[in-house]
């Protein structure tokens, strides 16, 4: 999978070059390219923002630099995503769906937003990562990319995907590793028993308890 990220702040994406996503790129499973929108500005000062018509607070990202940056990478099969607080709410199903595309393009807005004509021309999927407003789309893009990458074959093991939160519609059960006792806190006996059937039952029970306590809405959906 190839992912192109259009941004005014390419330096903010170093997280994508660590840990699991770093390995996925080294193994050529995912290719991530950062495209600096400023390089496409036709303004003599490389300006990429301007005041909103009709007035209002702050600045908007202009259409021309984004249009040219996008056209430089867009192909016939490209799926375009615009992270925005006014998009549909992100979840694991959307991540899974996005993981099936060969080419994703992310447009990172900044300041007060972007010129509506970017959306009218390219019709991106608008995705919100939650009901709060970030200073830009960079963090939201990273959240979406990190999450969808886990569904791309070869990035993490199949077992990890199947066992985790949301794959079963429930939250994940508590997990423990060595030592079996720490500051008087003991790992539940069943997990040390070697009885896989009992372990599976215990995990299912804990998973249900946790979901009921923390996210009862998951049972209603």
Dihedral angle computed from the Cα positions of residues 87, 91, 93 and 94, in that order, rounded to the nearest 10 degrees:
30
Nearer to ligand ADE, 8 or 202 (CB): 8
Q: Which residue's structure tokens are 């009862």? A: 216
156 close to 29: Cβ distance less than 8 angstroms: no
Smallest distance, ligand ADE to C-beta of residue 126, A: 8
Beta carbon nearer to ligand ADE, 131 or 162: 131
152 sits near ligand ADE (criterion: CB under 6 A): no
140 binds ligand ADE (CB under 6 A): yes
For 138-167, the DSSP string reads: HHHHHHHHHHHHTTSTTSS-HHHHHHSTTT
Instruction: Collect contacts of 151-159 with beta carbons under 8 A, ≥24 apart.
Output: 151/95, 151/96, 151/99, 152/1, 152/24, 152/29, 152/30, 152/99, 153/29, 154/24, 154/27, 154/29, 155/20, 155/21, 155/24, 155/29, 155/30, 156/20
Give which of 188, 187, 168 is closest to 179, Cα–Cα.
Answer: 187
Q: ∠ CA 138-142-143 to the nearest 5 degrees?
A: 115
Give the shortest CB-83-to-ligand ADE separation in angstroms: 3
Which residue, 53 or 132, is less far from ligand ADE as judged by CB?
132
Window 37 to 96, contacts with ligand ADE (CB under 6 A):
83-85
Candidates 20, 133, 192, 214; binder of ligand ADE (CB under 6 A) is 133
Tell me, by CB under 6 A, how many residues bind ligand ADE: 11
CB of 100 to ligand ADE, least distance (A): 21
User: Does residue 12 interact with ligand ADE by CB under 6 A?
Assistant: no
The interface region with ligand ADE, picked from 8-16, 26-34, 96-104, 129-137 by CB under 6 A, is: 129-137
Nearer to ligand ADE, 95 or 211 (CB): 95
List 114, 137, 149, 211, residue binding ligand ADE (CB under 6 A): 137
- 113 part of the interface to ligand ADE, by CB under 6 A: no
What's 18-32 look like in SS3? CHHHHHHHHCCCCEE
Query: For ligand ADE, which is the closer residue by CB, 56 or 130?
Result: 130
Residues at the interface with ligand ADE (CB under 6 A): 83-85, 128-130, 132-134, 137, 140
């Amino acid at each position: 999978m190839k992912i192109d990220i259009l941004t005014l702040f390419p330096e903010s994406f170093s997280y994508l070059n660590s840990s699991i996503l770093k390995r996925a790129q080294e193994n050529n499973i995912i290719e991530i390219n950062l495209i600096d929108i400023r390089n496409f500005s036709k303004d003599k000062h490389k300006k990429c923002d301007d005041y909103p018509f009709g007035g209002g607070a702050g600045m908007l990202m202009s259409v021309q630099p984004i249009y040219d940056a996008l056209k430089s990478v867009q192909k016939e099969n490209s799926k375009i995503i615009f992270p925005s607080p006014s998009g549909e709410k992100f979840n694991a199903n959307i991540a899974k769906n996005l993981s099936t595309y060969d080419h994703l393009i992310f447009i990172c807005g900044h300041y007060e937003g972007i010129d509506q004509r970017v959306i009218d021309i390219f019709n991106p999927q608008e995705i919100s990562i939650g009901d709060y407003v970030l200073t830009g789309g960079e963090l939201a893009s990273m959240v979406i990319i990190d999450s969808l990458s886990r569904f791309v074959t070869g990035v993490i093991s199949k077992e990890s995907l199947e066992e985790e939160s949301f794959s079963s519609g429930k939250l994940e059960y508590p997990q423990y590793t060595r030592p079996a006792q720490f500051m008087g806190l003991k790992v539940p006996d069943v997990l040390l028993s070697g009885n896989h059937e009992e372990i599976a039952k215990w995990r299912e029970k804990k998973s249900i308890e946790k979901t009921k306590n923390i996210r009862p809405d998951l049972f209603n959906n």
